[in-house]
């Protein structure tokens, strides 16, 4: 996880704390919305991913929070990102994940989540 967080800090220009929150939100979204087998393979290849995701899962956003891609984006903006940073963080996370688990698994995840392809 440190490698990904360092990459987000360097490439997107956000703080490490915000990077960790954003990664947790993205991973939690993928766990809930993505194809289970592919997301499980991804989580297995990213040491520390489960802990970051679980920390984010505990912050559901309250009774009126929305789910899906829009909900994940809203949560990231509430964590301190603007829309351009949400897109950049998502691209970096998907790119990093592609390096770790390969194109086939990431392709399955991206095609299995409506709207995610616009970020990659």
pLDDT digits (tens, 9 = 90+) for 58-108: 665 554 457 788 899 999 999 999 999 999 999 999 999 999 999 999 999
Evaluate whether residue 106 is within a structural domain. yes
State residue 114's pLDDT score.
86
Is residue 2's pLDDT more than 70? yes
Evaluate whether residue 119 is within a structural domain. no
State residue 68's pLDDT score.
85
State residue 63's pLDDT score.
43
Evaluate whether residue 94 is within a structural domain. yes
State residue 61's pLDDT score.
53
More reliable by pLDDT, 120 or 26: 26
101: containing domain: 2-114
CA angle 103, 107, 110 (to 5 degrees): 135
Evaluate whether residue 87 is within a structural domain. yes
State residue 64's pLDDT score.
46
Report if pTM > 0.75. Answer: yes
State residue 88's pLDDT score.
96
CB of 69 within 8 A of CB of 79? no
For residue 24, CA distances in Å to 21, 52, 60, 84, 114 come to: 5, 5, 12, 18, 19
Evaluate whether residue 120 is within a structural domain. no
Is residue 16's pLDDT more than 90? yes
- What is the domain count for the chain? 1
Closest CA to 26 of 103, 111, 99, 110: 110
């Amino acid at each position: 996880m440190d490698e990904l967080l360092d990459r987000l800090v360097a490439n997107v220009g956000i703080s490490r704390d915000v990077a960790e929150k954003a990664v947790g939100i993205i991973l939690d979204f993928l766990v809930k919305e993505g194809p289970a087998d592919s997301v499980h393979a991804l989580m297995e290849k990213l040491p520390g991913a489960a802990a970051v995701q679980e920390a984010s899962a505990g912050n559901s956003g309250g009774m009126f929070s929305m789910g899906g891609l829009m909900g994940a984006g809203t949560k990231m903006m509430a964590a301190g990102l603007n829309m351009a940073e949400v897109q950049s963080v998502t691209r970096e996370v998907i790119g990093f994940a592609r390096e770790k688990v390969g194109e086939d698994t990431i392709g399955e995840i991206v095609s299995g989540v409506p709207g995610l392809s616009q970020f990659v």
